[in-house]
Structures are given as C-alpha cells and as structure tokens.
Amino acid sequence: MPVARPESSGARVIAHVDMDCFYVQVEQRKQPHLRGQPTAVVQYNSWKGGGLIAVGYEARKDGVKRSMRGDEAKKACPQIQLVQVPVARGKADLSTYRNAGSEVVSILARKGRCERASIDEVYLDLTGAAEAMLAEAPPESLERIDEEALKSHVLGLNEDGSNLKETVREWLQRSEADHRDKLLACGAFIVADLRMQVLKETEFTCSAGIAHNKMLAKLASGMNKPAQQTVVPFASVEGLLEHLPVKKMKQLGGKLGSSLQIDLGVNTVGELLQFSEDKLQERYGVNTGTWLWNIARGISGEEVEGRLLPKSHGSGKTFPGPQALKTIASVEHWLNELCEELSERLQSDLDVNKRIAHTLTLHATAFKSSDSESHRNFPSKSCPLRYGPAKIKEDTLNLFQAGLREYIGSSGISTHGSRYRGWGITSLSVSASKIVAVPTGTCSILRYFHGQDQSCCSSEQVKDRFPEAAPSSPSGTESYSGSHPTEPPIKFLKEEARIGGAMPIVDENEINTEVCMREDTCAALQPVDGQDPSCSSQGAHHEFIQETSALSSSGTQCCTELNQNELHMESQAEETGTKYLRPGTRPREQKRKLVKDKGSSSILRLFQNFNNSASQKREHATNIDETQASLSLNFQSTGTFSELNEAEVPKENPLGMPTLGQQDELRRDAWDYKIDEIDSTVFNELPPQIQQELRAWLRPQKRANLPKRGSTIAHYFLPTKNTSHYKVMLYLSCNTILVSMTSLCGGIYTISINKKEGNVHPFKWRVNKLNSSH
C-alpha cells in the first residue's frame, strides 16, 4: 500500500529514464540484422509460439501486444521476427538483460543519485547537477544548444500539439523564467546528454521524464516514446493530472485504483480533488488516504534512493496445469535447477559487488485436489542463507518439506514414499534477500571466496548502508556491544539451534571451517601507541568503526567510488588493491606493515592455507572434508551449552571494546597475562595455531608491543553451517581472552578462556540476539 511522504522543501529535479522495449533492443544489438525489423522477444517457443515479453515499436504498429502468444503475433504481423529468451537449466534465463541493464545504470549514475527501479528503469535526482549548471552555465548563456535537448517535449508549452523547436528553445533559455523552470530546463539538458551517452556507449535508446518528483517524472517518461524526453513544468501539473485516468498512476493500476473508480466514482486524478484528506483517510487508512490526497495535487516526496543494485535475487518457474509437480523427486529436481541459478547469481553479486545475502526464501503455489481446504496457500519459508550450490539446494529442499508438511496439515497424512496424490505444485521460486555489502574487514571474506586480495570499504560506506551493522548512534552501540557495564548485553538463550530458525535443521555444534583471516588491515592489532588519529581519536567505541578507520587512506577512495557507482567496483577494486599492497610512504601504510610484523603471521598462514584449499575445493563443489581443520574441530569440541553465570560476564563489554571513557585508562594498562595463568586445559583446546599465536603475544620481551587489553587482536570470518558468516574476533579483556563470534545474521557467540584455573566452564557458548539499534 502506498505511503505518504512529505514533499521536501526546495524544488528538486527528478528524472525517470525508461529503456524502450528493452529486451528487444538487447536482442537487436546482439543480432544487428534484426534492427529496423518488427521484432518481439518470446519465451517457451514450444507452446503456441511462446509468450511475448517484449515487443519492438515496428511490431507494435501492427497491433502486436505484450502477452500475446507467438502465434497470434505472427497472425497480426506476419513478418515479425520472434527471438527466444535464452534458456538455461530448463527455464528462462534473463541474465543477458540484467547485465545490459547494469550497463545502462552505470552510465546514468554519473550525474546524480541514481536508483535502479527495475531491470530497465532508473530514477535520478539531478537537483545538485541542475543547480550547479544554473550557477555556472545557465541555459540562457548557451550559444549552441544540444539537439537532443531541443527535441524535448515540454508539457503545457505546445497545447496544439505542435512541437516547434523554436518554442522549446525559448522555454529552455527564458531568462525571466521561474527558478523552478530553470532548474527543470537544466535537468532537460543533463538528461539529454545522459541519454546520448547511453546511446553512444550501449547502442540503446531510452525515454525520460523530467519533473519535480518521482511520480511526475515517471508519468512523463511514458508520454513520448521511444527515444524522447518530456519535461513537466510546475505550472503544468494541475492540467496534466486533471484528466488523467487514475489507473495510469503508479500504484493505482490494481485494486486500489479500481476501488477509487467503483467505490468513490473517481475516474480521473482531478476528480480526486473533491475528497478531503479526512474522507480519504477514513476509507483507505491514514497513510494511503494522505498519499491519495497528495498525489491528486501532484505532491510526492519520495526520495530517489541511491541504489544501483537489486535488493534481492530470485529464480522461479511455473508448472501450469498438467505440468504440476506431484512428487517430491520432481520438486527436488526443479528446486535444484532454480538453486543453481540463484547460487550463480549470488556468487556473481559477491564477486562483482562484494555483497552477501543472508536470507533464503522458498515460495510455492500448490493445489490440493481432494481436500476441502484446498485453497489454503502454500506457506513461504525462509532460513539463513549459506553459500554454495549444494548448501542452497539442501536448505531449499528442507524449506519445501517444511512448507509441504504445513500445507498438507498435521492430519496424519504421511508423505513417505515419494508420491502423494493429494497435492500438486504449480510454481516454485527461490530467492535470496537481506543483501548487505560485506562489512569492513571484508577483504578477508572476499579472499576466502576468491582466493585473492580485494579492496575494502570505508566505515562510512558500511554505516550508510547497514546502520545495523555499524551503529552510529550511541544507543545502537549500546545495545550491540553493551557499553553499559551494569547491564550485561548478552542474554543467554538455551535453544541455540533456534538461531537458524526451525528450518532447516542445523547442527549447532558444527562449524564448517573455510576460514580466513584479515591480514590486510591494521585492525588486526590496535596500535600500541594510540597516536594515530584515525585509529584512536575517533574514539571508536565500536569495532567496525575502529577497524575501518584504519583503512581510510586507501579504503576510502575505493569506497567513494563505490558509492558513486557500485557497478564499477570490480575494476576499481583491482586498482585500489594494487596501490594497497605497494609499500607506501604514507604513515598509515607504514603502520600496516608494522602491524603485520608484530605478529599474526602464523595465524595468517593458517588462514591463508584455508583460503587456498577452500577455494580449490569450491571448484569441485564437494564440501566438508579435511578443510574442516583444526579450528572447526576445536570449536566443535567445545560446543556445549552449559549455563553461564553472571559472574563470568566480562567486566567490560563482551566484545572487549572499551567505551569512550574507558579507553584512555585501558590504554595505559598493559595486559599482564602470563601463559601459565591460563587454564592449560582450556588453552590446549584452542587450535594449535592460535595457541602458538597467543604464546607469541605473551612472551615477556614482546610485551611492550602487545595489544592493550580491551583491544581486538584479530578477526576471522567463518562460514558456518547455519549462517553464512561469522565474524570472529580474538580479543583481550580484563580477565579473559575471549574468542567472540559475531554472527552477521544476528547472534553473538562467545567462547571465553578464563584466566584462573578455578573458573569452571572453560568454554562457553553464549548466544545473544544481535538486538541493536533498529
């Protein structure tokens, strides 16, 4: 349901850019002989010529419509060229179109905030660019103006329908024009330019609308197609909406729009004006009521989100009528196909955009022939997403079976034996959502997947995108890292397995160990001197902030770029990556080196080895094996969930990060463990490499260079059975060495190694919902 947003104060310049019959253009670029010919794209050519999903303008002239079957199209337009959408794994594969869409987005994002609205549409906020142009090179000062801009349509300008370039030129250059109109004129120039860039670089044409908000821009972009642009001056809004059928408005194409027509007798947007806001709220609720009242007046405050990438990925297929799936085996087969596609796309998203999805969801539709309640929907099910095709398949099948059990009901019907006659599946889809950029520290996780170095993001980047991952507000920090010493932030849940939800079944003791270690940031060790402003003066009370600040000199650049254009990450990452490794003269790089020398080398090697073998393993798609090395073994052996008493909660917050006030004090306190003070049985249970590391840290002669207590020693990432990744930190607290595992999915696991032998519970798993700021 639409939701009202207040219009922001100043006039904005918003553009909506829409590709013309995009799939057709993509195919025509691929096969140039199709250019100029009536063309349509179809899928599943087998039945009645397939279904049309895109129709070129030449074919539209002959009355060919989307949603015709191929046969009908042939009838309407005998010369039509029907191109099949690529098929992979028995289903339509849209990746070529997705990729082509990305090409376009990467160009359109150059002049302002850009939001990818669909595979072939974007919104742009060009306010800044338009203001800058108005200040530096206003249209009236231009001697020659761009042909494409001249071809703009300006609503309300040529009422008779004539579109004289001269009147358009006048409008664009009128010096006494309303400030808002001048901004729109600048917008028209900018958009014309962008569209030409798109054409030049991709060979695709597009249409655009330029207005003061998204709604109007969207409306305008469709008014003159193909390959044209339309401007909506403020003064034309009322006239534009007056006779516009409500159904044409975005969000009113469905039931809501029908309700306006049927229940209120409103057929045009203008007719909506007679209803008070109260009246509309009364009928449609506060949000929708206000929204309707606003759009009737051309008001829409929705921001253009700076987002170039999709928020989710999905792969689905329908099995209509007789094709309905009736055995678990056939369902499994198709789920596997869908999962393979999904997995491929997830992997590519990770490779190219450095993003990880956290939730896997299965949707299905089904019928139940025999039963009375056969219309009950098949329930969607979701669970934490684990990477790798095999895992995704396994989890998806489990989700399906859970859904099926529920669907069939607990009426005691057994699904044993693969066939059960009562049900049929008519559609399946698997999707991945909750996609977040790999949070800082990410180089390690990326290397784990890639087996090579990659670039990092700045903390700003992460905070912008994932406030939950790096809370910037004190309260967020509080709840996450527990800076209130009086209030232990860790709550102990006994039912640990619940973390992954009921499905799929997880073995909470098992931790797969493809592991990796971030050697590439100074965050691995907090600087001893505490002098570096980037690492200490920010007083980072949160490890994300702390660790990323250290990256700023080389990391920021990359991230700034990433912000502007996520799609270009790959190449930029490489660039930055090389700079990164070069021994530098800048202080921060020196520090990086220092940190490295200081001593995580063995752990580094350990994880490096894991990396290598893990990535090789991935090639062969076989999983669990000897790469489940010592770490996992050790962690496994410790996975008992004994109750933990309050007394054992570390004095400081459980992540070991000092609060602002504590920080200075802590820094003065050297960490004074002796190796023998640590319960040896506990110590011995650590992975040997980590034992070695700790011994190194504890050597007296090295003390001077030791990390202060309360500081993070090292970070690792562990993909595990029931979540995609954990961030693992080894850090020192006042009484303990803690190995804390922060699940990016929402749990904090802590293993503490206590100083004194008397302390029971050498290893504890503490589970805490990551109950932070949001």
Partner DNA sequence: ACGGCTTAGACC
Partner DNA sequence: TGGTCTAAG
- Binding footprint of DNA on the chain (CB under 7 A): 1-3, 43-44, 47, 51-53, 66-67, 91-94, 98, 116, 118, 120-121, 249-257, 285, 287-288, 305, 310-318, 320-323, 341, 359, 361, 367, 377, 379-382, 426-427, 429, 431, 501, 746, 774
Q: 530-534: list long-range contacts, CB under 8 Å, 24+ apart.
A: 530/667, 530/708, 532/587, 532/588, 532/591, 534/588
Q: Are 331 and 430 in contact (CB under 8 A)?
A: no
- CA–CA separation, 433 and 435 (whole Å): 5
HEC secondary structure over 156-209: CCCCCCCCCHHHHHHHHHCCCCCHHHHHHHHHHHHHHHHHHHHHHHHCCCEEEE
Distance (Å, whole) CA 401 – CA 423: 13
**Cα–Cα dist 615/343, whole Å:** 16
Smallest separation, CB 84 to DNA (Å): 12
Q: Is 121 considered catalytic here?
A: yes
Are 300 and 209 in contact, with CB atoms under 8 Å apart? no
Query: Which CB, 250 or 695, lies closer to DNA?
Result: 250
Which residue in the list 27, 58, 115, 121 is annotated as catalytic? Answer: 121
Residue 490 has, within 13 A of its CA and on its CB side, a CA count of: 28
Q: How far is the CB of 707 from DNA (least distance, A)?
A: 32
**CB nearer to DNA: pick between 239 and 285:** 285
Beta strands 153-154; 206-211: pairing state: unpaired
Q: How far is the CB of 18 from DNA (least distance, A)?
A: 7
Q: Nearest approach, Cβ of 399 to DNA (angstroms)?
A: 8
Cβ neighbours of residue 438 closer than 8 Å, sequence gap 6 or more: 350, 354, 355, 356, 445, 446, 457
d(CA 171, CA 140): 10
Q: How far is the C-alpha of 257 from the C-alpha of 248, rounded, in Å?
A: 9
Which residues on adjacent β-strands are paired with residue 740?
A: 729, 750
> Does residue 438 contact residue 354 with C-beta atoms inside 8 Å?
yes
Shortest Å distance, C-beta 195 to DNA: 17
- CB 489 to DNA: min, Å: 16
**117 closest CA partner among 311, 254, 298:** 311
d(CA 10, CA 12): 6
Provide Rg for the chain, Cα atoms. 30
517 by DSSP, 3-state: which?
strand
Give the nearer residue to DNA in terms of CB position, either 161 or 265. 265
Nearer to DNA, 44 or 420 (CB): 44
Q: Catalytic residue numbers?
A: 121
